Structure 1
Amino acid sequence: MNIDPMMVLASFGIGIVVGLTGMGGGALMTPVLVLFFGIPPLTAVSSDLVAAAVMKPVGSFVHLRRGTVSLGLVKWLVVGSVPSAFCGVLLMRMLGDGEQLQHIVQVALGVALLIAATGLAVRAYMRLLERAARRDGTAEPLPVGPPRVKPRILPTIAIGVVGGLVVGMTSVGSGSLIIIALMALYPTLKANSLVGTDLVQAVPLVMSAALGHIFFGDFQLALTASLVIGSVPGAWLGARVSSRAPGGLVRRVLAFVLLASSLKLLGVPTLTTGFALIALALAAPAAWMVVRHRHGFPALASRRRRAPRAAVPERLAS
Structure 2
Amino acid sequence: MGIDIPLVIGSFFVAIVVGLTGMGGGALMTPMMMLFFNVPPLAAVSSDLVASAVMKPVGGVVHMRRGTVNLRLVGWLCAGSVPAAFSGVLIARAFGDGEQVQQTVKYALGVALLLAVAGLVAKFWLARHEGPVSADLGEIVVRPIPTLLVGMVGGVVVGISSVGSGSLIIVALLALYPTLRANQLVGSDLVQAVPLVASAALGHLFFGDFQLDLTTSLLIGSIPGVYLGARISSRAPGGVIRALLAVVLLASALKLLGVGNAATLWILGGATAAGAAGWSLLRHRGGVQVGVAGELPEGAASGGSGVEPGVPSRGAR
1:124-139 correspondence runs (5 A)? 124-130=124-130, 139=131
Letter in structure 2 aligned against 1:24: G
| In structure 2, distance between residues paired with 1:7 and 1:43 | 14
Contact 1:112 1:172 in 2 (8 A): yes
Cα deviation, residue 148, structure 1: 4.1
1:52 aligns with 2:80: no
1:297 aligns with 2:280: no
Calculate percent identity across the aligned residue pairs: 61
Cα deviation, residue 191, structure 1: 1.2
Q: Secondary structure at the match of 2:110?
A: helix
Name the larger-Rg structure: 1
Q: Which residue of 2 aligns with 1:231?
A: 222
| In structure 1, distance between residues paired with 2:30 and 2:269 | 24
| In structure 2, distance between residues paired with 1:148 and 1:26 | 33
Provide Cα deviations, 1:85-119, integer angstroms capped at 9, x if missing partner: 00110111111111111110000000000010111
TM-score (norm 2): 0.88
1:217 corresponds, among 202, 208, 214, to 208
Q: Which runs of 5+ in 1 are unaligned?
A: 131-138, 302-311
| In structure 1, distance between residues paired with 2:137 and 2:232 | 25
Decide whether aligned partners of structure 1 residues 147 and 198 sit closer, same or farther in structure 2, where only a CA change above 3 A counts. Answer: farther
Provide Cα deviations, 1:206-226, integer angstroms capped at 9, x if missing partner: 000000000000000000000
Contact 2:16 2:228 in 1 (8 A): yes
Provide Cα deviations, 1:68-97, integer angstroms capped at 9, x if missing partner: 111111111000000000011011111111
Letter in structure 2 aligned against 1:85: A
Judging by fraction of residues, say which structure has more helix: 1
Cα deviation, residue 51, structure 1: 0.5
| In structure 2, distance between residues paired with 1:155 and 1:88 | 20
| In structure 2, distance between residues paired with 1:78 and 1:96 | 28
- Tell me how many residue pairs correspond in the alignment: 294
Contact 2:134 2:140 in 1 (8 A): no
Cα deviation, residue 33, structure 1: 0.5
Greater shift in the superposed pair: 154-163 or 6-15:
6-15
Letter in structure 1 aligned against 2:287: F
Letter in structure 2 aligned against 1:124: F
Contact 2:135 2:181 in 1 (8 A): no
Q: Which residue of 2 aligns with 1:24?
A: 24
| In structure 2, distance between residues paired with 1:128 and 1:232 | 33
Cα deviation, residue 145, structure 1: 4.6
| In structure 2, distance between residues paired with 1:178 and 1:81 | 10
Provide Cα deviations, 1:242-270, integer angstroms capped at 9, x if missing partner: 22222222211111100000000000001
| In structure 1, distance between residues paired with 2:15 and 2:51 | 11
Q: Secondary structure at the match of 2:280?
A: helix
| In structure 2, distance between residues paired with 1:238 and 1:64 | 23
1:164 aligns with 2:183: no
| In structure 2, distance between residues paired with 1:42 and 1:148 | 42
| In structure 2, distance between residues paired with 1:147 and 1:4 | 48
After superposition, the CA RMSD in angstroms is: 2.0
Letter in structure 1 aligned against 2:118: T
| In structure 1, distance between residues paired with 2:61 and 2:167 | 19
1:273 corresponds, among 264, 269, 279, to 264
Cα deviation, residue 12, structure 1: 1.3
Q: Which residue of 1 aligns with 2:315?
A: none
| In structure 2, distance between residues paired with 1:55 and 1:26 | 13
| In structure 2, distance between residues paired with 1:127 and 1:292 | 15
1:20-169 correspondence runs (5 A)? 20-130=20-130, 139-140=131-132, 142-146=133-137, 148-169=139-160
TM-score (norm 1): 0.88
Decide whether aligned partners of structure 1 residues 145 and 236 sit closer, same or farther in structure 2, where only a CA change above 3 A counts. Answer: farther
Letter in structure 2 aligned against 1:189: L
Q: Which residue of 1 aligns with 2:191?
A: 200
Decide whether aligned partners of structure 1 residues 243 and 174 sit closer, same or farther in structure 2, where only a CA change above 3 A counts. Answer: same
| In structure 1, distance between residues paired with 2:67 and 2:137 | 5
